Structure 1
Amino acid sequence: MPDTTIPVIDLAPALQGNRAERLRVAREIEAACTDIGFFTITGHGVPLALIDTLRGHASTFFNLPLDEKRRAEPERVTVPRGYRALGFDALSRGNAGDAPGDLKEYYHFGRESWPDTPYYTGETGQRYFIPNRWPARPDGFAAAAAVYYAEMERLTGQMMSLAALALGLDEDFFEDKIDRHITAMRLNFYPAQQEAPLAGQMRAGPHTDYGLLTILNGENTPGGLEVQTRGGQWLRVETAPDTFVVNIGDLLMRWTNDRWVSNVHRVVNPPPGSGPAAQRISLAFFHHPNYDALVECIAPEGQAKYPPVLSGEYRDQQYRRTRV
């Protein structure tokens, strides 16, 4: 596979077919994850109307006056829920970079409800299972987000089964590691740029993601997503309204002992003078294992490149590093 293309993988045969079809699609995933760590999926079963509904609510919210949006900020700056204004974090700092705050706004939310049991409601659980914060407008925002989140849960569960097959593991290898996952979503808004960015400032600086898989629905507008190939080339990632871009996160790379790559990517600035057409929204589901899942390399004894790490602790560390 050349390192100048983002492969497109049709999931429908795996989701609707027998084990032989699942293995065939798993081999395509293995090739993509080994080569570049990014691929586009079709045949995923997520209705376009559902995607469009959440995107429409996000667009309405982000185009509200700033003072109204800021009423949806969390009460404490460390709480990963609600609205964040332009420049709140700099993602490149999670990979030891140094840049001004990213030129994006975002809305951060997780699952809407969870069981009333100690895993979720105990002292540790409360760090990850946090009530969502929703704005007064637009009506239906929270409901649309909950429906979309549930569809992403279904899809990532199916994809992690395929990932296990691709790695030569039992198909259910990841099930007890993601059945109480701590996944957060971000609705990212990249406004049209009225002023020139500071030196080194981007919509999202070069970074890797932290968890297992990221599933993103984006837009083809000026100033979009780019991924760095193994050869160092920056490659534009095309998207369509009814497809998702999938990339590998740090924990899955660690689990595979670098067999799969958690690749550096960024969101570049639009060309000067692009105007309102450069406004961009992406819907990003950052699939993250149970907070107590121990991520240990599936490698022969003595060959592991990384020490074991707890899923929740790793995410906490990365969140802290990216705050401006």
Structure 2
Amino acid sequence: MIPHVQLPGHVAGWTLKEKTAVAAEMGDACRHEGFFFVHDHGIPTDLIGEVYSETQLFYRLPVEEKGKYEASEKSQFLGYRGLGREKSRTHSGTEACEQYRLGNTTHELALPESVDFYHEHFPKSLELFRHLTHLGDGILAACALGLGLEEDFFKGYLGRPLHRLGLNYYGASHPSDVGSKVDYAMSPHVDLSLLTILDQDEPGLDVRNPDGTWQEVPTVPGALFLFLADYVQRWSNGLYRAAPHRVTAVRCDRMSIQYKHRPDYGVVVAPLDALTGPADPPKYAPLNTGSEYVAVLRSLLGR
């Protein structure tokens, strides 16, 4: 069973008492599954529908037009990842989907292209991005409280955060188009982020339970699906679980909206001193969320 968490409306109005209540309700799910649905999040349903419409319009463009927005290191990996562009993390082929990335950039890396160029088709998506940024901040504050930390503990690591909004299209024909020999369209992995918030218009996402079995995530009207990612698991020294997930070979065309809450470029994530000790030594090595993250993207998207 997937846990369900009731939120106190839009995060802009949450009090410390309400964040503490959210932390308590999320607690078991964060420690055990690492994933759950959130209800009463305050994000307009109509807005999410408009984002799907924007996404659909973009993916209907000719391949040559979509290719003008190709994601690369020069764009800080914003933009379009065409079918077969992303290499699989688990097999020798490529992922059977098309993807588009919106989001923030850093001054630490070169950015010769205008960010507005990559965002020009997606005004409603950027509006949703702002809502999800606030929701991510609220959930992260609740995570801190649930770990016995101050609510703003992680705020100092955000700085100029590199949050990302992914608009993903899984066509029913995509696996055959890329010659896939596996029964999934996106390889199993754990996100390199703090947490991920997702909506899907059709089922297709699977999450891995603590016992190693895979579970299909249904579509739940009005709810968003949330799963913890590598950085929270690493900071918490495994007290909170990151959720491995994949996308199955879909039976019909599917779109998903995937928001990743991320820290500032170059933040080093390692088990916190407050959550380690002689009886509970660090289980994870430090990870640089700047250079090491970019190296992963190079390996997935490099020509």
CA distance in 1, matches of 2:168, 2:146: 31
Q: What is the aligned counterpart of 2:159 among 174, 179, 203?
A: 179
Matched, 1:109 2:99: no
Query: In the alignment, which residue of structure 2 is the partner of 1:239?
Result: 219
**Deviations 1:114-144 (CA, angstroms, capped at 9, x unpaired):** 8xxxxx53xx2547x9725338xxxx73322
**Counterparts of 2:24 and 2:238 in 1: how far apart (Å)?**
17
The Cα shift of 1:51 comes to 1.1
Indicate the SS of the match to 1:200.
Answer: coil
Aligned to 1:257: 237
CA distance in 1, matches of 2:19, 2:175: 49
Separation in structure 2 between the aligned mates of residue 53 and residue 27 of structure 1, nearest angstrom: 33
* In 1, Cα distance between equivalents of 2:270 and 2:144: 14
Q: CA deviation at 1:219?
A: 1.8
1:280 pairs, out of 231, 249, 254, with 254
1:123-134 equivalent positions in 2, closer than 5 A: 124-126=108-110, 131-134=115-118
Counterpart among 30, 34, 38 of residue 35 in structure 2? 38
Inter-CA distance 51–194: structure 2 relative to 1 (3 Å threshold): closer
Evaluate the alpha carbon distance shift between residue 176 and residue 130 of structure 1 in structure 2; reply closer, same or farther with a 3 A threshold.
Answer: farther
Structure 2 unpaired stretches of 5+: none
Mind listing any 5+ residue stretches in structure 1 that lack a counterpart? 115-119
Question: TM-score, length-normalised on structure 1?
Answer: 0.82
Report what 1:11 is aligned to.
Answer: 7
Identity within the alignment, %: 28
Q: What secondary structure is seen at the aligned counterpart in 2 of 1:151?
A: helix
3-state SS, counterpart of residue 102 of structure 1: coil
Asked if the contact 2:36/2:227 (under 8 Å) is kept, the reply is yes
Aligned length: 295
1:48-59 residue pairs with structure 2 within 5 A? 48-59=45-56
Q: TM-score scaled to structure 2, two decimals?
A: 0.87
Contact (CA 8 Å) 2:186, 2:248: kept in 1 or not? yes
Q: Does 1:70 align with 2:70?
A: no
Instruction: Report the CA distance shift for 1:209/1:100 in structure 2 as closer, same or farther (over 3 A).
Output: same
Letter in 2 for 1:318: V
Show the counterpart of 2:276.
300
- Tell me, yes or no, if structure 1 residue 210 matches structure 2 residue 192: yes
How large is the RMSD of aligned CA atoms in angstroms? 2.6
Tell me the CA shift for residue 74 of structure 1.
4.3
